[in-house]
Amino acid sequence: MKKGNVVVEAPLMYKDALPSRHLSKLASDREVGGSVHKNMGAKSTQQPSLEVEFRKRSIAKLANQHGIVPLKKLGQNFIFDKSLCDKIVKASGLTNGDLALEVGPGPAGLTRSILNASPKELIVIEIDERCIPLLDEIKTIYPTLTIKHADALKIKLQDLSIDKKINIISNLPYNIGSVLLISWLHQFQMVNSMTLMLQKEVVDRIVAKPGTKDYGRLSVISQIVCDVKKCFDVSPKAFYPEPKIWSSVVRLEPKENVPNQKILSKIGEITNFAFSGRRKMIKSSLNLLSPEIGSILTKLSICDTLRAENLSPQNYLALAKEVITYKTRHLI
């Protein structure tokens, strides 16, 4: 997405607060007169006129009618551009019959785009009680929508599905995005894919290669558990209010042979030591991990003068396995 090429649609009650330079970019109603998605998924067959009327209301108008404004304490930055929401869903690869999860739907622009892709069920988790009536209204049109008024940080994926893996599609609040991602990485058994909007700097760390300035703990754990792909960048102008930084959309898909939780926890411990002393040689930064770290590095053919950013995710995986084996062997 090119800089300055993002159309922002602000709700009526926000327009007075927007700088004049934004007003020329406002789309009065991007959803009216546009093409209608042919496959609307499972939705109510009752009162079709209500559905038609509902579809005439843009993301911004719906938010305005329900009196929803973004709250800084919840890290809310709303998207009012329907085409951007559609683009995120397209990047997710969501197909008819999938189980989808969205955290923090807010004014439900992304929610509506997900539902238009005809998932078997869309579960939304929203902590902001102001958004629940809006979501309830959407549910009258799309009965496959399940609404949970709860804190996403306190919900385990296994509580949402018994036998079907979940496709997570979310514009995550900046203040909890990384925490949620790490939690979901440790629940990989329940995940089919994750398509997430996060700060650009966080996404750059997720996909970073060894030896680069962005490479760190998040890079290692993300790339050990998942195949990762940065989809596209998003200008601050796509949000209201405008954040000071760019965002990016990233897609993560768990690999077939992901290490078990014991190994993942050990990787977390090792990377904590390693990257806390980022400029130290690995033999020094990992000295507290094991008194025999030199022998372990030699056995794995890892040069002990390398620094944390020089080791690949596979190096860290091998280290974790060997440290666990060493401790078991020596009853430490």
Question: How far is it between the farthest Cα atoms of the chain?
Answer: 73
Q: What is the pLDDT of residues 196-210, one digit of tens each?
A: 999 999 999 999 999
Report the CATH number that the domain containing residue 186 is assigned in CATH. Answer: 3.40.50.150
> Which are the contacts of 77, defined by CB distance < 8 A and separation ≥ 6?
70, 171, 174, 239, 240, 241, 242, 243
Q: Is residue 211 part of a domain?
A: yes
Number of structural domains (the chain) is 2
CB 121 within 8 A of CB 162: no
**Please, how many CA atoms are within 13 Å of residue 261, restricted to the half-sphere of its CB?**
7
Q: What is the pLDDT of residues 90-148, one digit of tens each?
A: 999 999 999 999 999 999 999 999 999 999 999 999 999 999 999 999 999 999 999 99
In the predicted structure, residue 11 carries a pLDDT above the cut 70: no
Looking at residue 51, its pLDDT comes to 67
Q: Rounded mean pLDDT of the chain?
A: 85
3-state secondary structure 269-291: HHHHHHHHCCCCEHHHHCCCCCC
Percent of the chain with pLDDT strictly greater than 70: 82
Pull the structure tokens for residue 180: 């949620």
Q: Is residue 140 part of a domain?
A: yes
Q: What is the rounded average pLDDT of the residues 303-317?
A: 97
Q: What is the pLDDT of residues 17-57, one digit of tens each?
A: 343 333 333 333 333 333 333 344 455 455 556 666 677 67
- Tell whether 228 and 300 lie within a shared domain: no
Domain of residue 297, residue span: 261-329
Residue 117 DSSP symbol: T
- Tell whether 166 and 303 lie within a shared domain: no
- Tell whether 244 and 280 lie within a shared domain: no
Domain end point (choices 210, 238, 254): 254
Pull the structure tokens for residue 330: 């020596």
Q: DSSP labels for 34-59? A: SPPPS---S---S-HHHHHHHHTS-H
Q: Is residue 7 part of a domain?
A: no
- Tell whether 228 and 325 lie within a shared domain: no
- Tell whether 79 and 131 lie within a shared domain: yes
Report the CATH number that the domain containing residue 311 is assigned in CATH. Answer: 1.10.8.100
Q: Is residue 2 part of a domain?
A: no
As a whole number of angstroms, the distance between CA 122 and CA 168 comes to 10
Looking at residue 29, its pLDDT comes to 34
Q: Is residue 1 part of a domain?
A: no
Q: What is the pLDDT of residues 229-266, one digit of tens each?
A: 999 999 999 998 899 999 999 999 999 999 999 999 99
Domain end point (choices 238, 254, 270): 254
As a whole number of angstroms, the distance between CA 199 and CA 218 comes to 13
